[in-house]
Amino acid sequence: MSSPSLHLYLLSTRLIGEMTSNIVIIGASYSGLPAAHYLLKHAPESWTITLINPSTNFYFNPAAPRALVEQSILGKNNADLFIPFLPKLEKHGSRFTFLHGKASAVDTNSKTVTVALHGGKGETGVTYDHLIIASGANTSGGTGKEWGFKHARDGNTEEIVANTRAAVKAAKKIVVSGAGATGVEFAGEIKDFYGAEKEVLIISSSEELLPQVPRTDVGASARKILTKIGVKVKTGVKVVEERPATKGVEGVVELVLSNGEVLSADLHIATWGIYPNTSFLAKDLLDSAGWINMDEYMRVRGTQNVWAIGDVTHWGNRKLTTVDGQWAVAMQNILSSINGGGEEVFKKYVHSDELLMAVPMGRRFANAVVFIKGWKLWGVIGWLLKGRTYMIEAARPVAEGIVTSGRVKI
């Protein structure tokens, strides 16, 4: 190359380099993964995407209550439940970068995210023009243990799911504490699969199961189904302490209840307690419980070009249906912003706390309760919607960026 053309080449690559802008996404689940696919498709070619996540698999956690009990739902090589998401994203070539690890800090002044790389491989930093926080929430398991109801903190979800399934298999007497949808489904799945082999007790601090449902007859129906299949139900009482069983007592743990009763069990799985994955953010971006403070345009309050979607936001009603509505508004507004628009063209997010819930308790036809926008529907609908296959067929299209969890085309 002659020197004037080399000069031109260097100048043009420098200009292209300077013109490239980067969107960083923290979290690759129902919020972050569709965002990466959507922006790679719809943002101008000069925009690159950097995705940060502790694992390279998409985990279809709604099926966890069954996957933690029986292997068959995971498919061959677990491939129906843990789906590698990189192959489809890497097709975008140099516009896409994956950082395998966890965001450990965000500096909104220098617009930099610090990432602790997976496997103790040190730290790196990445700058952003726009940042999307989609780091979600985890269940604390009451005592801080991870059971696999959500992606694991360090990306080893597959191992944790296998360990829980093995622990369930080995235990004879199992106590599930927490009677939200997760606890009710899980107790039902264990008893339905193992039958008389296992003694299963569900404990709820509320007077009725499924306390988040505003109609107690829904929880009462769940109690009836669980009782019918042989699950014991204890309500209006809490587990206040879990301790190793004293010598000579049958079982591995002792559970002290708020009414003074002490129970022994081989396995206690707490399904209550949810906490936000926001430890890498400055406290002034969070509400008092640690969720991200949002404005109606899906921007993080007090920042510039920082957005958040899904469970991690302060909005609540942490469900896939909620994620989808937030995702759609955030995507439109980010694109508008990239194209030079502002609040005058932004869409507003309107939050709804309306519940849509299908709670199966095992595989059997009609052993389910359904509550949709104030209506209690027939159990058979719960079986059709969820209990039959646990919606596992919906996992791959999300993992591969075809649709969102609410089946919106990407």
Applying CB under 6 A, the residues found at the interface with ligand FAD are: 26-32, 52-54, 61-62, 64-65, 102-103, 134-137, 139, 149-151, 182, 277, 280, 310-311, 318-321, 323
Shortest gap between Cβ of 132 and ligand FAD (angstroms)?
11
Give the nearest distance from C-beta 245 to ligand FAD in angstroms.
28
**C-beta separation of 213 from 355 below 8 A:** yes
Nearer to ligand FAD, 148 or 251 (CB): 148
- Which CB atom, from 161 or from 233, has the smaller least distance to ligand FAD? 161
Q: What are phi and psi of 7, to 5 degrees?
A: -60, -45
DSSP string, 62-122: GGHHHHTT-GGGG-GGGTTTEEE-HHHHHTTGGGEEEEEEEEEEEETTTTEEEEEEGGG--
* Minimum CB distance to ligand FAD, residue 125 (Å): 14
* 95 vs 118 by CB, closer to ligand FAD: 118
CB closer to ligand FAD, 251 vs 315: 315
15 vs 43: CA distance, rounded Å: 19
Q: How far is the CB of 340 from ligand FAD (least distance, A)?
A: 28
Q: Answer whether 15's CB lies under 8 Å from 111's CB.
A: no
In whole angstroms, the minimum distance from the beta carbon of 11 to ligand FAD comes to 37
State in angstroms the smallest separation of the CB of 369 from ligand FAD: 13
Per the structure block, which two tokens stand in for 6?
């080399």
Q: Rounded to the nearest whole angstrom, what is the least distance from the CB of residue 6 to ligand FAD in the complex?
A: 41
Q: Which amino acid is at 144?
A: G
Nearest to 103 by CA among 129, 130, 128, 124: 124
**Closer residue to ligand FAD (CB): 105 or 256:** 105
Which residue in 61, 115, 60, 57 sits closest to 87, CA to CA?
57
CA angle 299, 303, 306 (to 5 degrees): 50
Q: Give CA–CA dist 136/273, Å, rounded.
A: 14
**Which CB sits closer to ligand FAD, 147 or 251?**
147
Cβ proximity to ligand FAD, 150 vs 251, nearer residue: 150
